[in-house]
Every structure is written in structure tokens, then in C-alpha cells.
């Protein structure tokens, strides 16, 4: 079966050369817009593309405002600061996520708490969240505290794993019940919709990543999505050194950050946004091909959750156990097809070992079985 899969992927990508997991594709106005930046010398903090990219992303996602920054990790950090996360608070996220989610929580001085994921979404489980809060949280004057540690539980960050939306409505309900701010880590889910609404627009703030391996890229880049315009304005202010606008004076009213995305990266983003629909179409076709391949197999293909449209950022197969997972990883990587296991659970890392968790039953299950297959756009 392993050979059959590898041969299938080579036929799908029409090559005998090495097939990466997800490489970017530049087939539109990328060179034209980059040349324009270079010719005009506006490659850095001034230029028209930053505003344009923010407008394009807000219009596509349906967010009221979008604010670009240097990457998804600092977008998460700013989001946490904006909802008021402070040192020694607790912030809940899923154990099965990319390290950036947990790192961003740590940058604020807060303590991450790792909760289990759903079998149907691979993202934070509202049932597990509700259970953990039921056992550990108390509300005092509308503020949620951990009854065991005494710390404030300020925010929760579900992540849309590999582009598959989490059960947002239920998560929103649980967070509301416990007065916890919801931030969506939508780094992987540009082009994914939950009940026809774009991921990243349900929580108080959502974030996107435009790293080179994502559905579209700006080289490196991130974005904050807002429904609240004044919060977006504050984000823009904070990410641009908190400078008070003035023709020549240098005056600043906060400790700000130099997180502004350069115009040259935003130019790439504008050109890539023009390709997004085409890219998503291709990715869906690839996912359908994989789904057919694994239809009657002992290897499962992970499909988009109910009521959701996934971007199928990275396609997922579920091997029967860890031994088979490792054997397939070895075979495919030795035969020119890049495949990857899912991330190790956050609570396995030395810096997060002491963090609170629940039983993480589904997280452990996925950790042993998931393999990502090549999912980059195929030019038709």
C-alpha cells in the first residue's frame, strides 16, 4: 500500500522529482507588484500595498478590519495583549497545535493550559473545555479564576488544525459562560468557513499566517482580524511603534512594537490574494483525489467537519498505529515524497511539561497516527 500511495502522489503531481509538502506558487501579478515596489523604492514601511492587502483580506474574510504584522506568532501575541492577558494569567489552548500558539501565550507571561481536541475536527473540543472549566473554574464578579491555582483564566485560543474549522458555536458558548475571551488561531485556515462564515471572524480577534508554507504567502507575514474597529486601530498603533501621527515629531504613547509588515511583503500578499480562489479550487480537487484513494483502505482520510468548508491546507491521513505511521513516513520520505507527522503535544516540551492539561485522550490518539501528505497547489 505504501508504494501505491507514493506512486499515486507522483502521478498526481506529474513528477518523478522530490515532492515537497506545500510549496508556494507565483503565477499572477507577484513579479509586477514587486518590481513596482523596487522601482518606486517603497519597499519598507511606506507604500500603498499594506493598506491594499488589509482591505483585500478584510473583504475576503468578512472581518470589519484587518491589520497586518510580521508573522502569525506576533499577531497572536498582540491579540493576547489586546484582550488584556497579563502576567500570571492562564490562557487555554489545545495540546495538539503548532508551538507558536503556546509560545505566544508565554511571551505575555501567562500560563498555557492544554485541553483535548475533538475527533471530528482535530481542534479544541468544546466538551473537553466545558468539562475542564466545570472542574477547575469559578466566576467571581464576572471574572473567571482557576480554583486550584487562584490565577485568572483570561483567554482561550482554539486552532483550526490544518484548515479544518473547530466547533466554533459551542466554543463561543462555553467561553461566554465563563467570561473568557476567545481568540482564533486561524494561521492555517485562510479560505476555511464554518457555517459559511470565515474562520478567524468569530472570536474577539482572529489571526492568520502568510508563512511560505501556507495557502498564500507574503514570504513571512501575519494578520489580525477584527470585528471591532477601535480595537483594530489600537492594534495598528501598537504594531507601528505606538507613534502619535505627526508630520515631524517623534512622540509615542505606549511601549509599541515594530511589527509592521513591509510594503514589499504586502505587495506579494496582494498578488497572492488574487490567486486565492484558484488555489482553493485546486486544493479541494487534490483532497478529493486523496479521499478516493483511501476510500476502502485501512488508512483513513480526514474529511472537513460537518457544516464546514475547509481549505484542506495540509491533507491528513490516519495510519492504524504508530508503528505503521513511522514505517510510512520512512518509506515516503526515502522515495521522494515529503510527508510529516503531526506535532508532538505541547505538554511534552520541556518548557511546557509542568502546565495543566486534561486527559488529552484524542490528542494522544492523533499524535501517534496522523501523517500530512503533499498538498501544494497544482497548476491546471
Taking CB under 6 A as the rule, does residue 185 contact ligand PLP? yes
- Binding ligand PLP (rule: CB under 6 A), the pick from 93, 94, 97, 362 is 97
Write the CB contacts of 59 (distance below 8 Å, at least 6 apart in sequence).
none
- Give the interface segment with ligand PLP, choosing from 7-15, 182-190, 238-246, 291-299 (CB under 6 A): 182-190
Part of the chain binding ligand PLP (CB under 6 A), chosen from 58-66, 84-92, 184-192, 196-204: 184-192
| R_g over Cα of the chain | 21
Is there binding between residue 209 and ligand PLP (CB under 6 A)? yes
- Cβ proximity to ligand PLP, 191 vs 222, nearer residue: 222
DSSP string for 183-240: EEE-TT-TT-EETTEETTSSSSEEEEE--TTSSS--SS-EEEEES-HHHHHHHHHHHB
Question: Would you say 83 and 183 are in contact if contact means Cβ atoms under 8 Å apart?
Answer: yes
Binding residue for ligand PLP (CB under 6 A) from 61, 211, 215, 265? 211
Q: Specify the DSSP element, H or E, that contains 308.
A: strand 308-309
187 forms part of the interface with ligand PLP (CB under 6 A): yes
Q: Looking at 9-17, 92-100, 163-171, 271-279, which segment touches ligand PLP (CB under 6 A)?
A: 92-100
The footprint of ligand PLP on residues 148-167 (CB under 6 A) is 159
Strand 137-140 to strand 143-146: parallel, antiparallel, or no bridges (unpaired)? antiparallel
| Identified binder of ligand PLP from the candidate list 165, 222, 262, 305, rule CB under 6 A | 222
Give the x/- contact pattern for ligand PLP in 99-138, rule: CB under 6 A: -xx-------------------------------------
Name the segment binding ligand PLP (CB under 6 A); options: 18-26, 93-101, 244-252, 319-327.
93-101
- Could you tell me which residues come within 8 angstroms of residue 279 by beta carbon, excluding any fewer than 6 positions away? 25, 191, 215, 216, 377
| Binding flag, residue 98, ligand PLP (CB under 6 A) | yes
Instruction: Give the one residue of 47, 72, 203, 341 binding ligand PLP; rule: CB under 6 A.
Output: 72
Strand 193-194 relative to strand 197-198: parallel, antiparallel, unpaired? Answer: antiparallel
Closest CB 304 distance from ligand PLP, rounded Å: 17
- Candidate segments 98-106, 112-120, 241-249, 351-359, binder of ligand PLP by CB under 6 A: 98-106
Residue sitting closest to ligand PLP (CB)? 72
Which residues in 129-145 are b (16+ Cβ under 10 Å) and which e? bbbbbeebbeeeeeebb
Assess contact for 19 and 340: CB atoms under 8 A.
no
Beta-carbon contacts of residue 292 (< 8 Å; ≥ 6 apart): none
- 64 in helix, strand or coil? coil
CA 347 to chain centre: 19
Least distance between ligand PLP and beta carbon 309 (Å): 19
List contacts with ligand PLP (CB under 6 A): 71-73, 97-98, 100-101, 159, 185, 187-188, 209, 211, 222
Amino acid at each position: 500500500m505504501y508504494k501505491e500511495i507514493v506512486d499515486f502522489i507522483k502521478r498526481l503531481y506529474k513528477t518523478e522529482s522530490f515532492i515537497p509538502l506545500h510549496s508556494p506558487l507565483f503565477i499572477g501579478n507577484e513579479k509586477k507588484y514587486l518590481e513596482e515596489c523596487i522601482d518606486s523604492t517603497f519597499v519598507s514601511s511606506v507604500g500603498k500595498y499594506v493598506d491594499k492587502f488589509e482591505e483585500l483580506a478584510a473583504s475576503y474574510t468578512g472581518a470589519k478590519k484587518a491589520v497586518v504584522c510580521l508573522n502569525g506568532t506576533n499577531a497572536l501575541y498582540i491579540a493576547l495583549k489586546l484582550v488584556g492577558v497579563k502576567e500570571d494569567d492562564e490562557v487555554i489552548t489545545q495540546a495538539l497545535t503548532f508551538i507558536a500558539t503556546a509560545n505566544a501565550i508565554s511571551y505575555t507571561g501567562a500560563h498555557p493550559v492544554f485541553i483535548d481536541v475533538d475527533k471530528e475536527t482535530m481542534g479544541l473540543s468544546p466538551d473537553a473545555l466545558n468539562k475542564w472549566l466545570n472542574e477547575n473554574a469559578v466566576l467571581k464578579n464576572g471574572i473567571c479564576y482557576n480554583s486550584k491555582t487562584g490565577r485568572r483564566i483570561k483567554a482561550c485560543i482554539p486552532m483550526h488544525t490544518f484548515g479544518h474549522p473547530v466547533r466554533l458555536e459551542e466554543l463561543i458558548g462555553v467561553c461566554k459562560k465563563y467570561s473568557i475571551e476567545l481568540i482564533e488561531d486561524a494561521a492555517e485556515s485562510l479560505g476555511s468557513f464554518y457555517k459559511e462564515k470565515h474562520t478567524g471572524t468569530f472570536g474577539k480577534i482572529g489571526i492568520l499566517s502568510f508563512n511560505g508554507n501556507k495557502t498564500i504567502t507574503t514570504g513571512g507575514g501575519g494578520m489580525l482580524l477584527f470585528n471591532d474597529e477601535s480595537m483594530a486601530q489600537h492594534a495598528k498603533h501598537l504594531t507601528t511603534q505606538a507613534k502619535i501621527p505627526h508630520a515631524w515629531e517623534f512622540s509615542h504613547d505606549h511601549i509599541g512594537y515594530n511589527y509592521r509588515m513591509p510594503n514589499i511583503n504586502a505587495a506579494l500578499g496582494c498578488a497572492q490574494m488574487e490567486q486565492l480562489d484558484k488555489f482553493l479550487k485546486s486544493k479541494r480537487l487534490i483532497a478529493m483525489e486523496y479521499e478516493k484513494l483511501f476510500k476502502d483502505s485501512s488508512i483513513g482520510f480526514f474529511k472537513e467537519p460537518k457544516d464546514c468548508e475547509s481549505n484542506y491546507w495540509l491533507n491528513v491521513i490516519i495510519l492504524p498505529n504508530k508503528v505503521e505511521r513511522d514505517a510510512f513516513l520512512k518509506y515516503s520520505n526515502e522515495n521522494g515524497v515529503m510527508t510529516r507527522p503531526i506535532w508532538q503535544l505541547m505538554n511534552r516540551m520541556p518548557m511546557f511539561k509542568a502546565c495543566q492539561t486534561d486527559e488529552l485522550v484524542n490528542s494522544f490518539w492523533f499524535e501517534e497516527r496522523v501523517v500530512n501528505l503533499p498538498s501544494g497547489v497544482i497548476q491546471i
